[in-house]
Amino acid sequence: MHNYIGLACSLHDPAVAIVNSRGELVFAEATERSLQSKRGWNAVPDQLNSIGKLMDEYCEPDADMVVALTWSDNHVPPPEVHLTREALVAFKKDGLPPAIDRHPVWGWEAKLGYLVTDSEYLSRRLAGNQTWLRAMERNRRVRFTAFDHHLTHAAFGCFTSPFEAAVCAVIDGMGEAGSISCYTYDGGQLTPLRDAPATDLYGSLGTLYSLVTDVCGWDWLLGEEWKVMGLAPYGKFDEAFYESLKKLITIDGNKLRGPTSLAHRNAVFHEITSRMRDVKQPTLAAANLAFTGQQFFEELTTSILMDLKSRDISPNLVLVGGTALNSTFAGKICDRIGFSRLYIPSAPADDGNAVGAALLAHRALAGESKPRSIAHQTPYLGSKISSDALERLIAFNRGGSLNIGRHDDYVDRAAKMLADGKIIGWVQGRAEFGPRALGNRSILADPRPIDMKDRINAKVKFREEFRPFAPSILHEFGDEYFESYQESPYMERTLRFKPTVREKLPAVVHKNQSGRLQTVKEAWNPNFYRLIKAFHRLTGIPLLLNTSFNIMGKPIMHSVEDAIALFMTTGLDALFIEDVVVVK
């Protein structure tokens, strides 16, 4: 009997996933949560102080371990990534030579201060060592396997989708052979699609969006691409910037290609980065750049997906890779391109690959090839809140500055506070897997007050005033509130509100009349459903403002201690951890 531990071992977004002997996904979590370090840069996924505990809690007692990694053993970096030892010394002393400054590959080094070849591949070599040690301590035998990076993306997307057949597109920053891979999924089998849309080394949509993020004055290393999407509706088309971007990536048939020579690449990058917003300028100064960058990204991605649709393989599309987090575009795919259904998993970026690798390992060893019937893959796969920490919170605050107690009617209490305009932290059950809070690690508020968005941005999240908030809506009201309503279980797509409801919900209606919605069903999250239902009874509004329980620049909270620290250092009015209610 074997259990399968998938380790997402890229330089960024490391994660751990556990699949049991029956092929069931029982745990998945990004390592950034326990470390409380945004994106977990340069960290091994299986932290020594946690992987043993995860084995004890989620693995079967007598199972041996199969450790599955998310980059294949034979993957080597492209030749241009290598530098000589002399060049490395010069680089650390003087910075990047002008010949490769702002180069799409060298952009990593320019930000990080060391070679990708030294750090990225070290991360992969170290991944699994901690698992091996803790497994051997428990008398569990261990074997290792590794899979192609894009295949692990596709496996997570297709194996957890509700589809029996689909076409799958993996579009990210860089894989093992370019940044785009396409597959057919049928009968439980993933098959690479011949003559599919592809890229050369530099025709990367992920790199494109990272560059636009930088030009707008933000840091893609910290995952600030979200800000580009949020700012874009405030801008207008900038033809000069658009023409510069077109020099960076061109479409040749169904292939995306970058500049063909180093000199050309340098010239284009310097032309684009000459438009970079000075940090002293207001963020709205980058609005036209954000709008134009988002439009160019959508045009190129539309071309790729139109090619897949024209092949008439399946009416169902599975979209994965980091660019699948572009919810603004995701909400347009079905109407614009014509796919009947779209599936984007809760963690389509590199953290999700941990699940893909574990599922691939199970199928390879167990010999399973038939598709599993998954009507809905729960995203609530992460850590639980410590009951001991909750008891300590109650015990040691007696007579303190907080009013803390257990309440059987905590759901109704929360609904009443929300209806009265209070902002609350809501921590329930297991954490969500992926970058979005889906009602278990959330900050919640009433969407009706016109000043609520500004209150949360200024006093709770401490972020830019233009940043939007998501509406979590009861599924049965979706058609009443959104145009061309589609289920969005993981807050993965943005849709337009209907004109008749926009004035009721100013806190969640963005500049372009849209909202990145989360569909809530009782079967998916009974507790969160009960809360929104109670709020609906009080207000007539079947949705809540939902944002992740963190502040800008930090991951979503992980522990009771994290929650209390955020509660005491922000403008939150109340905190609900399971049935424990905390009020200042």
The mean pLDDT of 268-290, rounded to a whole number, is 92
For residue 131, is pLDDT > 60?
Answer: yes
Q: Find out whether 217 and 277 touch, Cβ atoms under 8 Å.
A: yes
pLDDT score at 112? 42
pLDDT value at residue 370 = 62
pLDDT surpassing 60 at residue 450: yes
Q: How confident is the model at residue 371 (pLDDT cuts 50, 70, 90)?
A: low
- For the cut 70, the answer to whether the pLDDT of residue 118 exceeds it is no
Cβ neighbours of residue 147 closer than 8 Å, sequence gap 6 or more = 68, 69, 70, 72, 155, 356, 357, 360, 361
DSSP code, position 286: G
Q: What is the mean pLDDT of residues 509-535?
A: 98
Query: Where residue 91 falls among pLDDT bands split at 50, 70, 90?
Result: very low
Please state which of the ranges 82-91, 285-294, 327-336, 393-402 shows the lowest mean pLDDT: 82-91
pLDDT top residue among 223 and 450? 450
pLDDT at residue 90, as a whole number: 47
- For the chain, give the longest Cα–Cα distance: 71
Mean pLDDT for the chain?
Answer: 90
Task: Please tell me whether residue 406 adopts helix, strand or coil conformation.
Answer: strand
Q: What are the pLDDT digits (tens) for 323-370?
A: 999 999 999 999 999 999 999 999 999 999 999 999 999 999 988 766
User: Which pLDDT does position 367 carry in this prediction?
Assistant: 80
d(CA 9, CA 45): 6
- pLDDT at residue number 75: 64
Q: Is 139 left (phi over 0), alpha (psi -120 to 50) or beta?
A: left
Confidence of residue 372 (pLDDT cuts 50, 70, 90): low
- Domains of the chain are 1-156+352-368 (3.30.420), 199-315 (no CATH), 387-583 (3.90.870.20)
* Residue 483: per-residue pLDDT: 97
- Across the range 112-132, mean pLDDT stands at 70
